[in-house]
Structure 1
Amino acid sequence: MSWIEVIVLGVVQGLTEFLPISSSAHLRITSALFFEADAGASFTAVTQLGTEAAVLLYFAKDIWRISKTWIVGIWDSSVRGDPDYRMGWYVIVGSIPIGVIGFLFKDQIRSGLRNLWITATVLIVFALILAFAEYWGRQTRTLQRLTMRDGVVMGFAQAMALIPGVSRSGGTLTAGLFLNLTREAAARFSFLLAIPAVVMSGLFSLPDVFDPEGRAPTVAQMVVATVIAFAVGYAAIAWLLRYVAHHTLYAFVLYRVALGALVMALLMTGTISAT
């Protein structure tokens, strides 16, 4: 793997991880279009540790408050009515689906589901679902009104992002809108919900990313890619939270449809390979 590829993919990961346009799809497409080979699911998972570090830093106060309240609540029943205590459980329970499904279908996720025909189709289909959620959702519920049902539903929506093209943030945002959460509330919970899943996925994939049988990056290259993803991702978090507070998600819908159509055209003309 070249240094140019490492830097480009690090930037792409940071820019797209938190937007509802699928970072895994963009890494897959960028690799196929400019570098003629798939960087691999393990590379994606490890660079996501950088973007998740950005989440940990950006939401450090919230994470500390929620974690502390949850731990105290385990032993002290008087704090179990606190929204932060409940939020801790919502994140934990909501993280179970992606962990179980990811473990059971890890081989398919790393191989067959990375076919670009699947990626392009999923980009378009889930764009239309996101558009419907944006149109239909009443957006009357704030983060303080989140329930365990919301956590479970959004957890299963997050699990669908194991398919490149769905988008983890896009799936959880879509589910949140269908549950009548505001865009900002859905986005904030999406960030918190991603922490256990992405961190565990990245750590689990560390041994595979340096597999000498493949186009393995060096340790230095992985560190650089992850640091770039962290820096760009931190800026993307701040931008997205400001954006969703005042704008609809239709711009992302149009982008996803256009990108999916472009990838299909490139595949049909033989410009890029599906595998």
Structure 2
Amino acid sequence: MTLFHLLIVAVIQGITEFLPVSSSGHLILLPNLTGMADQGQAIDVAVHVGTLGAVILYFWSDVRIALAGLPRLMRGRTDTPGARLACLLIIATVPVIIAGLLLKLTGLDDALRSVTVIGWTMLIFGLVLWWADQKGSSERRAEDWTTRHAWILGLWQAVALIPGTSRSGIVITGARALGYARSDAARLSMLMSIPTILASGALLGAEVVGEADWEMLRLAGIGAAFAFVSALLALALMMRLLRSVSFTPYVVYRVVLGILLIWLGYTT
């Protein structure tokens, strides 16, 4: 794997992980549209670690509160903000773990990795995001997050296992439909990504243990660093833009790319 190829993979993962445009969809499209070789699971784990580091750093104040609440949660208490946040994040992660295991065991995860599927999910869920963003109210804040809403957003997040859907995009869609303000919907989506990335990274990591050599570890470290920087920049830019603009620019991108991919899928 060349350094140029590694850089492309890391930057794509870093930029698209937290934008509502689907990181997995773009990474699947990379070898399909360019002829480049698949980067392999070790690099997938590395770039996920990089993006995980970025979201933890950006939302460190929330992460610190949740971590401080874990000991209390383990004693069955949710009477502090930290314990409550940790509990809600765990609840919101359960659906995607169950759905992910089912897809893995049935082999459907590989069957869904096609240009046509990504095209349709890009288009359909892009329009759903636009609808929810335009019609949803902005009366709720992230601090208003409830157990019921954690389950609902967790189910929305599980839908993102279909390539092209976008994990961040579908959670933001669900949060906007529930009435959360744009920045708060994005904040919940990013916080939910932390246990989700940890779970997916652990699953992928378990499959590559013992297979990586020193050269692969070197490339993985470089990939993680590139992904960290690009994810942090993309995350900071999106959160800043949400103060003055809607999600419409991302929707336009998704619709245009979706139509192009559908055309390519049915004509090639």
Listed one character per residue, the Cα deviations across residues 91-150 of structure 1 (whole Å, up to 9, x for unaligned) are 011110111111121253541111111111110010111111011101110112111111
Letter in structure 1 aligned against 2:245? H
Q: What is the CA-CA distance between 1:264 and the residue it aligns to? A: 2.5
- Any residues of structure 2 matched to 1:204-219 within 5 Å, and which? 204-208=203-207, 218-219=216-217
On the 8 A contact 1:73/1:85 being kept in 2, the answer is yes
Aligned residues: 264
236, 250, 267: which one pairs with 1:238? Answer: 236
Listed one character per residue, the Cα deviations across residues 30-65 of structure 1 (whole Å, up to 9, x for unaligned) are 222223444467744542121011111222222112
- Any residues of structure 2 matched to 1:192-211 within 5 Å, and which? 192-208=191-207
Over aligned residues, Cα RMSD in angstroms? Answer: 2.3
Residues 1:162 and 2:161 aligned together: yes
Listed one character per residue, the Cα deviations across residues 224-274 of structure 1 (whole Å, up to 9, x for unaligned) are 11211011111111111112222111111110011111223333443xxxx
Structure 2 equivalent of residue 19 of structure 1: 19
Residues 1:84 and 2:82 aligned together: yes
Listed one character per residue, the Cα deviations across residues 173-209 of structure 1 (whole Å, up to 9, x for unaligned) are 0000010001111111111111111112112212545
On the 8 A contact 2:116/2:266 being kept in 1, the answer is no
Change (3 A) 1:41 1:178: farther
SS of alignment partner, residue 160 of structure 2: helix
Cα distance between partner residues in 2 of 1:45 and 1:156: 24
Instruction: State the identity as a percent.
Output: 31
Mean alpha-carbon deviation: is it higher for 128-137 or for 67-76? 67-76
SS of alignment partner, residue 243 of structure 2: helix
Residues 1:101 and 2:99 aligned together: yes
Letter in structure 1 aligned against 2:237? W
Letter in structure 2 aligned against 1:8? I
Cα distance between partner residues in 1 of 2:108 and 2:225: 25
Cα distance between partner residues in 1 of 2:224 and 2:74: 35
Structure 2: runs of 5+ lacking an equivalent? none
TM-score by length of 1: 0.88
Letter in structure 2 aligned against 1:152? W
Mean alpha-carbon deviation: is it higher for 224-233 or for 42-51? 42-51
Structure 1 equivalent of residue 122 of structure 2: 123
Cα distance between partner residues in 2 of 1:173 and 1:25: 17
Residues 1:151 and 2:150 aligned together: yes
Structure 2 equivalent of residue 52 of structure 1: 52
Structure 1 equivalent of residue 175 of structure 2: 176
Structure 1 equivalent of residue 257 of structure 2: 259
SS of alignment partner, residue 140 of structure 2: coil
Letter in structure 2 aligned against 1:234? L
On the 8 A contact 2:46/2:221 being kept in 1, the answer is no
Cα distance between partner residues in 1 of 2:205 and 2:147: 32
Change (3 A) 1:245 1:45: farther
SS of alignment partner, residue 21 of structure 2: coil
Letter in structure 2 aligned against 1:132? W
TM-score by length of 2: 0.90
Letter in structure 2 aligned against 1:218? M
Mean alpha-carbon deviation: is it higher for 22-31 or for 36-45? 36-45
Structure 1: runs of 5+ lacking an equivalent? 271-275
- Any residues of structure 2 matched to 1:216-227 within 5 Å, and which? 218-227=216-225
Letter in structure 1 aligned against 2:89? V
Change (3 A) 1:69 1:211: closer
